[in-house]
């Protein structure tokens, strides 16, 4: 480059607006992701991939113009406040709280100013937002409506196992939203003339013993309540239900993929894609208070025909016709 051309470019650079030069040196924003399950869990990897997809739709790419820090409680809810406080100390730009209301509540308790984007079942009842349309405060996100479909799952279970009168419910009493799940199921059972028998488990050491009780009492079917702890032990739960030939109904499709009989519930990835989009909007300058809570309406019915044959259960053709996916 000739000296005259160099001096011309140097003078032009000096004349750039201060804002333009500042923008070049602007630090990369950091997003803190607070989870209930481990980052390397296969389900977590799928959800994180969906979250990144949502971010990319708004122009944010991890490792290029945004950094992401992951924190996992690995199923131990009491660790969430410490993990949330650590993200606040690191002055992240946004906190993404996933896996039910607990991470979002921990994040909200840790900061009233850092924007929070959550996935949750009933954020109004949990106290995360004032209303779905006008969240107020520093939090918004996606409602999966998971607690509101217990009656739907029980209705599908009644189609699956005709004349079922007693339904066992595998339940973690320490989980959040557990009372709403049980109330929904019990209300539906009364309307169907069924009885609910609750079997509580709080750690993996109790699962074998509880299934021993289920094998002795022989309910007509088993309903597994949604919970991060249950999900982390799904292979053990599915194997035991199949071993005892208990017709079992689950919420997340990962159970059916692991050999579970039937699952019906919200898509596990769609809410995270939407959370990624909202996170991108906040990084672009939007305020959580101005972003209505999104209600995820994508639900999936997955039937595992291999398991049905293994336990000697014939799936009604009407139920097969309504399935989003049949595993053969």
Whether residue 48 is found in the same domain as residue 77: yes
Q: Is 175 helix (H, G, I), strand (E, B) or coil?
A: coil
In sequence order, which residues have a C-beta less than 8 Å from that of residue 154 and are 6 or more positions away?
A: 167, 185, 188, 189, 192, 194, 223
- The CA distance from 147 to 23, in Å, is 45
User: What pLDDT sits at residue 121?
Assistant: 78
- The CA distance from 60 to 222, in Å, is 43
Whether residue 273 is found in the same domain as residue 321: no
User: What pLDDT sits at residue 8?
Assistant: 44
Whether residue 198 is found in the same domain as residue 165: yes
Q: Which residues span the domain enclosing 314?
A: 147-266+300-327
Mean pLDDT, consecutive 10-residue segments, the chain of 328 residues? 44 42 68 88 86 97 96 88 97 94 94 95 88 94 74 85 91 78 84 91 90 94 85 91 95 91 88 96 97 88 95 93 93
| Domain containing residue 204: CATH number | 3.40.50.2300
> Full-prediction pTM beyond 0.85?
no
User: What pLDDT sits at residue 140?
Assistant: 97
**3 within domain boundaries:** no
Q: Write the CA distances from 88 to 113, 233, 273, 284, 298, integer angstroms.
A: 10, 31, 24, 20, 33
Residues in the chain: 328
Whether residue 158 is found in the same domain as residue 227: yes
- For the purposes of burial, counting CB atoms within 10 Å of the CB of 105, is it exposed (0-12), middle (13-18) or buried (19 or more)? buried
DSSP annotation of 219: -
Whether residue 32 is found in the same domain as residue 101: yes
DSSP annotation of 19: H
Whether residue 84 is found in the same domain as residue 141: yes
Whether residue 203 is found in the same domain as residue 85: no
């Amino acid at each position: 480059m000739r000296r005259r051309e160099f001096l011309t470019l140097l003078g032009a650079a000096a004349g750039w607006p201060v804002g333009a030069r500042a923008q070049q040196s602007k630090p990369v924003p950091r997003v803190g992701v607070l989870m209930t399950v481990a980052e390397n869990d296969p389900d977590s990897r799928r959800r994180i991939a969906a979250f990144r997809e949502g971010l990319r739709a708004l122009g944010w790419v991890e490792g290029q113009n945004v950094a992401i820090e992951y924190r996992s409680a690995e199923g131990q809810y009491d660790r969430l406040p410490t993990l949330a406080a650590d993200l606040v100390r690191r002055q992240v730009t946004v906190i993404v709280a996933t896996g039910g209301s607990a991470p979002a509540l921990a994040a909200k308790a840790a900061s009233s100013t850092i924007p929070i984007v959550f996935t949750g079942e009933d954020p109004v009842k949990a106290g995360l937002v004032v209303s779905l349309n006008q969240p107020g405060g520093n939090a918004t996100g996606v409602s999966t409506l998971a607690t509101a479909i217990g009656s739907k799952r029980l209705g599908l279970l009644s189609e699956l196992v005709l004349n079922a009168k007693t339904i066992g419910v595998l339940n973690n009493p320490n989980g959040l939203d557990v009372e709403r799940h049980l109330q929904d199921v019990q209300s539906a059972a009364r309307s169907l003339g069924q009885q609910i028998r609750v079997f509580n488990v709080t750690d993996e050491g109790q699962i074998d013993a509880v299934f021993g009780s289920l094998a002795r009492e022989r309910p007509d079917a088993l309903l597994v309540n949604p919970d991060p702890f249950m999900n982390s032990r799904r292979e053990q739960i599915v194997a035991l239900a199949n071993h005892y030939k208990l017709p079992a109904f689950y919420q997340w499709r990962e159970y059916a993929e692991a050999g579970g009989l039937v699952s019906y519930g919200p898509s596990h990835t769609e809410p995270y894609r939407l959370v990624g989009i909202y996170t991108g909007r906040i990084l672009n300058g939007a305020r959580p208070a101005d972003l209505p809570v999104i209600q995820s309406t994508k639900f999936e019915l997955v039937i595992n025909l291999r398991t049905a044959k293994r336990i000697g259960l014939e799936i009604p053709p009407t139920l097969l016709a309504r399935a989003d996916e049949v595993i053969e």
